[in-house]
Amino acid sequence: MTKHVHEKESQAARLLVPDGFSPEDVKNLSSVLNALVADAFALYLKTKNFHWHMSGQHFRDYHLLLDEHAAQIFAITDPIAERVRKVGGTTIHSIGHIARLQRIADNDEEFVGPTEMLRELHADNKAFVESLRAAHVVVSKANEYATTSLIEIWIDEAERRAWFLFEATR
C-alpha cells in the first residue's frame, strides 16, 4: 500500500463514528443539519446586527429582546454541529461554507427602522421553524432520536421568538 492511500484511509477512519448509521443516512443527516447550522449563524448575526443598530422610543426593550434572542440562537449552533459529528459526518468549516448553505438572507442595509427589523426577524424565525420541521422529518426517518428531541426544543424556542417579535410589532 502506498503512503498516500494509507494516509487517506487513516483520515477516513478518523471520521468514522460507531453509530450504526448508513453512509446514506450520514450524508442526509449531515446535509440537513449543516444547513441548520448555517441558518442559525445567519440568523444570529442578523439578530446581533439589528441589536447593535436598534434605535427609537422602544430602544431599550428591543435592544435587550434581540440580545436575548441572539444568545438563544448562538447557543444551538454548537449542539447542531456536534450532532453532525456524532452521526459520523463533517460540519461547517468557515464563514464561506456558511454563506454557501444559509437560507436566511443577510441584511446589509445602512438603515433599517425598528419595526422593519422586528418584522424581518419575525419572518426569519418563522422560516427557521419551517427548516427545523423539515429537518425533523429527515432525522426521524433515520431514527436519530437524540437529534429529533433536540429539534423539537429548538422549534419551540424559535416559535417563541417569532411570537415575541410578532407581538412587538402589533
How many CA atoms are closer than 13 Å to the CA of 20, on its beta-carbon side?
4
Find, among 126, 122, 129, the residue nearest to 164 by Cα: 122
Average pLDDT over residues 67-94: 97
Find, among 76, 96, 1, the residue nearest to 33 by Cα: 76
- Extents of the domains making up the chain: 32-102+110-168
Predicted TM-score (pTM) above 0.75: yes
- Helix (DSSP H) and strand (DSSP E) numbers for the chain: 6, 0
Cell of 110: 445602512
DSSP 142: T
Query: Does the structure show a pLDDT above 70 at 73?
Result: yes
Confidence of residue 57 (pLDDT cuts 50, 70, 90): very high
The fold of 32-102+110-168 is Ferritin (1.20.1260)
Average pLDDT over residues 50-64: 97
Can you tell me the distance from the alpha carbon of 114 to that of 137, in angstroms, rounded to the nearest whole number?
35
21: left (phi over 0), alpha (psi -120 to 50) or beta: beta
Question: Under a CB-based contact definition with an 8 Å cutoff, are residues 102 and 38 in contact?
Answer: yes
Predicted local distance difference test score (pLDDT) of residue 6:
52
**pLDDT > 90 in the chain, percent:** 88
* pLDDT 10s digits, 121-134: 999 999 999 999 99
Predicted local distance difference test score (pLDDT) of residue 19:
66
Burial 38-60 (b: 16+ CB within 10 A, else e): bbbbbbbbbbbbbbebbeeeeee
Predicted local distance difference test score (pLDDT) of residue 20:
82
Predicted local distance difference test score (pLDDT) of residue 5:
54
Mean pLDDT, rounded, of the chain: 92
Question: Under a CB-based contact definition with an 8 Å cutoff, are residues 41 and 104 in contact?
Answer: no
Can you tell me the distance from the alpha carbon of 153 to that of 163, in angstroms, rounded to the nearest whole number?
15
* pLDDT 10s digits, 2-55: 565 555 554 555 455 556 899 999 999 999 999 999 999 999 999 999 999 999
Show Cβ contacts of residue 52 under 8 Å, excluding neighbours closer than 6 positions: none
